[in-house]
Amino acid sequence: MVSLVFDIGNTFSKVAVFEEQHILWTERYRQITEKLLQQILVKFKPATAIISSVQNKIFLWETMLEQQLKTFRFHHQMAKSIKNHYQNPEKLGLDRLAAVVGAHFLYPKNSNLVIDAGTCVTYDLVDAEGNYYGGSISPGLKMRFKALKHFTKKLPLIEAETGFDQVSGSNTKEAIISGVQNGLRFEAEGFIKKQTEQDPQTNILLTGGDLNFFDTHLKSSIFAAYVKPEPYLVLKGLNAVIHQQE
């Protein structure tokens, strides 16, 4: 079965076409139009679709899609493979939920700690039995640099430098990079250390826009053996949800 998957964010929308569990094609757009959607439908001829969106509105192209094939709007009750123990399951971000669904689908015999490095960095654990109890939300890499600029009078706005590996800086720029990047790295390593002490078989799955930053730094740490980059984890989770509805 060919499936069409949409992950609609605040700025970008990710679209993917799957044949069973294999990605045939994926792209990122600022805006999805009816014309673009029709081109995708003609080229890949999907049988079903799923839409996950941070926006509550119904899109014009979504209405068109529903008229042509079986279409699901992702919500928390659709994640049937996960035992969701979040205090208010309906309040859990759909991207976080889709990511843990994807993690449990890909590695069902292990606990999986998902680190989603985007605007915020989220840490979410799903155990080998599919239990999800909650997670952590922290400021992302770019947000940390911007906060130093915004909340001080003299500190400049600095860009991240993935190759920076100094413990401390000898000037203001280096000190900011050291504080932000090492701080985020040590934070992630702390979460990983705590979890792998409890369960040494835990996988660490990296996803999100700043995946490469975490991959670079964690692959050079003592946790390298646990780290698995999964750039399409949310899309894979949404695709897995489609098959859970059958």
- pLDDT tens per residue, range 157-198: 999 998 888 999 999 999 999 999 999 999 999 999 999 999
The structure's pTM equals: 0.93
Q: What pLDDT, on the 0 to 100 scale, is given for residue 116? A: 96
Q: 33-75, pLDDT tens digit by residue?
A: 999 999 999 999 999 999 999 887 888 899 999 999 999 999 9
Residue 114: strand, helix, or coil: strand
Task: Among 39, 56, 73, give the residue marking a domain's end.
Answer: 73
Q: What pLDDT, on the 0 to 100 scale, is given for residue 54? A: 83
Closest CA to 155 of 144, 140, 141, 167: 144
Q: Are 102 and 205 in a shared domain?
A: yes
Q: Are 91 and 132 in a shared domain?
A: yes
Catalytic one among 95, 116, 210, 215? 95
Q: Are 53 and 151 in a shared domain?
A: no
Q: Are 62 and 6 in a shared domain?
A: yes
Q: Are 48 and 104 in a shared domain?
A: no
Residue-averaged pLDDT of the chain: 94
Task: Among 52, 73, 94, give the residue marking a domain's end.
Answer: 73
Q: What pLDDT, on the 0 to 100 scale, is given for residue 246? A: 63
Write out the residue range of the structural domain in which residue 12 sits.
Answer: 2-73
Q: 204-242, pLDDT tens digit by residue?
A: 999 999 999 999 988 888 899 899 999 999 999 999 999
Structure tokens at 86: 């979040």
Query: Is 95 noted as a catalytic residue in this protein?
Result: yes
- What total number of domains does the chain contain? 2
The CATH number of residue 39's host domain is 3.30.420.40
**Residue 243 placed within a domain:** no
The answer to whether 116 and 164 have CB atoms below 8 angstroms apart is: no
Round to the nearest angstrom and report the end-to-end CA distance of the chain.
12
Task: Among 73, 106, 124, give the residue marking a domain's end.
Answer: 73
